[in-house]
Chains A and B, each alone.
Chain A
Amino acid sequence: MSVAGMMRYALLRMARSYLALLLLVGVPLVLIAVIGTVSDYLQIERYGDTSLPGMDYLAVSMVLGFQLFGGAYTMEFFKSDLLDARKWRLHALPLRIDRYGMALLLGSTVFTMLQGLAMAIFTQLMFGVNWGNYAWLVVVLAAVSFLSQLVGLVLILSLRSAKLAERLSEVYGIGSMLLAGFALPMPDTPLFEFFGRYGNPLSLGQNAVFGMLYGNDRLLPLLSVGLLFTASALLLPLAAAAGRRKLG
């Protein structure tokens, strides 16, 4: 079967996992809606030197932030198909396991992006959030989503305990949100300032969306997306090596 064909079935299975959909689409939308009720209070949010409506800042950060947890799809599918008992059935099929893994990875990336895109369109229609150019948004979502899937993939393939891998992927997501200063105020030191601006995927995604919308030059958003893809490129050989060891 071609990679696209295998991806189709992975996507169909993801579309039927209602709990994951509830958590990755329902929850952020409810949170955005609740935050929307206090948008008067959050009127203006500062992002670097620019100020923007609080609702825009929150919706963009929330949607990009939940992309970080999309790696759960890759982890769950690799675990159930290629690491647990079902792997023997898959090995018995006339398909190449590396290609199947690729299909799962790409399917999860695309599905997570689609979720992000659906939420973006919803928030634009409901709350008038300005997302800028949707083609650029798709690029940003692809960058954040692909990196998150790879982080999950490297974790699940290189650690012995799947449970630990899942916890660590949550640390990645929540840690990025914390570093980006999205949940709590962070200490006011140069180190935290750097990590809060360039040192985590959520901030890089924010740079990419807000920089294109409000920034004066295009360098920061382009650089941010470039950094996200660079991080993915660095993780790819790691994932390939870990996969060859664990699945081969």
Chain B
Amino acid sequence: MTVFRYALKRMLRSRATLLLLALPFGLLLLPAQRGWEPLLPAWHYYGLLLLLLAARLPALLLVERTSGVLLRVASSPISHLRYLAEHMLAYGALLGLQIGAFVGAGMLRYRDPVQPWPLLAVYAAFALAALALVLAWCSLFRNRETSALILFSLCMLAMMLGGLLWPVQALPAALQRTAWLIPTYWLGEGYRTVAAGDHSALLAAIGMLLLFAAAGLLLGSRRRLN
């Protein structure tokens, strides 16, 4: 677990990463009023932030690829699988800790009757899917800035078309029918099932998110040396 240890150390030394990890707790300032969202606003918008947080690690890996670090890793006696898996594990651990801490803090702040475990599962599955999909996205680019800027715009679109900024029912019928192709739709679906306490539908939403994660990993984990 050498790579894991050093990846973790590097991330904890980066002020930007620490800032990103602290950022979501600002959401706890939001009032406990309900709007159209199935859950409290803080729960709802935390998922949107997760999408942006998950984009951090693939961006770092992109820089390692373009700056030639990956080439040196390839010539050292370590497999690409281990390099990638231990990096993902390190960042995943940080994200997992953050999700746990956020849900815990939110439960204390709002005294929300919602069950914490399903919520944790939805966040974890969505974070994994987002991480994997961004990994696949970043494998297409050579410039970190370009990739990040276009990705940010795509994230906004995904939130809109996936029904996170307004109910899916507000979209035109044609877009409603294709919304299931967008991962953010399944985050919204997860929220709805958590709010309704419908466990079988919750499993379906989590399963879909894990499928997206698998697809992203398949596309994004290929080693590219350029």
Contacts and interface: CB of A to CB of B under 8 A. Distances in A.
Interface of A: 19, 22-23, 27, 30-31, 34-35, 37-38, 40-42, 167, 184-185, 187-188
Given A19-B146, A184-B41, A41 B157 contact: no
A198 B11 CA distance: 38
Nearest to B175: A37
23 contacts: A19-B146, A22-B150, A23-B149, A27-B153, A30-B157, A31-B156, A34-B160, A35-B160, A37-B171, A37-B175, A38-B166, A38-B170, A40-B170, A41-B170, A42-B166, A184-B30, A185-B30, A185-B31, A185-B33, A185-B35, A187-B29, A187-B30, A188-B31
Interface residues of B, number: 22
B29 A23 contact: no
Nearest to A27: B153
Contacts of B30: 184-185, 187
A167 B17 CA distance: 13
Contact of B160 (A31, A167, A185, A187): A31
Contacts of B167: 41
A142 to B, nearest CB: 25
B161 A34 contact: yes
Interface string B154-174: 001100110000110011100
Give the interface SS of chain B, mostly helix, strand, loop or mixed: helix
Interface of B: 16, 29-31, 33, 35, 41, 45, 146, 149-150, 153, 156-157, 160-161, 166-167, 170-172, 175
Contacts of A35: 160
Closest 8 CB pairs of A and B: A41-B170, A38-B170, A27-B153, A34-B160, A37-B172, A187-B29, A23-B149, A38-B166
A19 B150 CA distance: 9
Nearest to A19: B146
Interface centre among A35, A37, A38, A42 (most CB of B within 10 A): A38
A185 B41 contact: yes
